[in-house]
Structure 1
Amino acid sequence: MARRRKRVIEEAEHQDRWMVSFADFITLLFAFFVVMYSISSVNKGKYETFSESLDKALFHSEKVLREVEPIQVGTIPTRIQPIELPNLITVTQEEHQLSEEIMEEKRRLNEVSDEFQRALQPFVESQLVGIKKHDFWVELEMNSELLFASGKAELSGKAIPVLEKVAEVVRDVPNVINVEGYTDDVPISTGIYPSNWDLSSARATSVVKELVKNNIPPTRLSAVGFGEFHPIADNKDEAGRFKNRRVVLVLMSQAFARYGMTDIERAKALKLAPQTETQQPEPVEKAPDAPAQL
């Protein structure tokens, strides 16, 4: 009986063994780049901590660990530094109180302006009286024809009732009053008034005296003469000269009046750099124009 031959099965040679070694190589290369990237993006503290930990694990080194910051896990919080602003103004309680006083004074001046408008309405309509309202003063402009005869400084009979109404409006408010006299440019030369300076100052003084008679405290009043040097109209014609001959009552804000706030109080109220009393011993404030005080 014939024997069957055993068929020898030869194992086939695997052609893809290289992939195992290649995959291990790629994995190590990937790990190497991960480590390189991680140590390149950490701060100094993280790097020193990682280096010492790796050295101790691999070489069993007994180095004394230096104090380092712990490795931060997650996003490192950002500390926002406050922005320093130069000359930052902090509103104190005292400054707030002064600001409230300024606002209250503005409201009071507005009320005075409205009272002038009501009390002197007929004269306003006839353009003998004008009222100008500002933030820190009120101007009551009266034509000289309403108060004086030509070339005279004595009050006329029709001026007395007008000034009585003015006194009623300003009597109960504490603001100082500058009485300003103006003339036209027609020269005057008499034994009593050698120049328009003298005439304008005398007219302002006559108005001040009449206000004192009507119980306005003298400490609130001042008389100023401007002469012909601050016209509001052209002196070439009679209409312009008529407007320029006038007396103006300026009801001043206490913040700007000479005998109102001190320099330090005024600086705080207006948010200005304060000055000490030694730098400016006596505050001097003037009306909107710089008058010649006589």
Structure 2
Amino acid sequence: MSATTIPAVAEERTAPAIDAPDRPRSTKLRLRPKVRAGRVLLSVLAVVIAIVWVFPVYWMVNSSLLPNRQLQSFIPTFFPIGGSLDNYGNALADGSFFTALGVSLSITLIVVFFCLLFAFLASVAISRFRFRGRASFVLAVLIVQMLPAEGLFIAQYKMISSAGLLNSIVGVSIIYTAAVVPFTIWMLRGFVAGIPAELEEAAMVDGLSRSQAFMRITFPLLAPGLVASGVFAFLQAWNEFTVALVLLPSEQMHTLPLWLRGFIQASATRETDWGQVMAASTLVAVPVIVFFLIVQGRMTSGLVSGAVKG
């Protein structure tokens, strides 16, 4: 009798253990299609947003390859079938593009260098040291950003004119640097503050001085922050139009935005050739694209993550 009852008791004890894992598995199986459907919808939405964002750039490049009569047609041409590079040749014919390119590159490189230098020193002082007037300095940086640039044109023009720096790369670079460096300080300050000071203290325990510990340990970790701040300074200096229009009246000292404006004005005296205008716009955008291709690896790398463990 005991031999017949023992298997029955064993079956009763083992039955719940067999049925218990099946319930959550069935629930997970029912939830998976919903999760996948949500991911598909988000992916489709992301693709639609990306297309909307990229389409103006594509339309600019597409229009630069088409003749003006085809662009003025009521039927849009979405693919440059039968297009040519004639618009680019016409835009580069007089050689003024390369002169404007040299001016823009010179101004932009000067502004990026000095902005990063001043912003780096200021952000280190704000983040690593406690001194009298520190809060007032940070507040002044924020207040400067609130001032409208247009309200400073007269004062800037008189200052640069009295210094004899009109139509000069140095004069425009000084104004650009003064305008960009406050936000660059605020931006780079967040990167410096995000790096733990314990890394420098550990290096100082090993025998390094404070400056050596900062340059050898902290400074390499600031590479993404420096690149991001440099990109901001680059874009501000490269695309700036109004200050250059005031301080660079000579055509020989025009930057690329001013060159593009002059190109459109020249086209406006006759029937506007939108193909050439789009070709000129594409030429202005190419250096920015090349710059981003060079620095995008540093911008996306998380060098700071995992610096402190345990």
Scaled by the length of structure 2, what TM-score is found?
Answer: 0.22
Higher relative contact order (CA 8 A, sep 6+): 2
Which structure features the higher share of helix residues? 2
Larger Rg: 1
Scaled by the length of structure 1, what TM-score is found?
Answer: 0.23
Which structure features the higher share of strand residues? 1
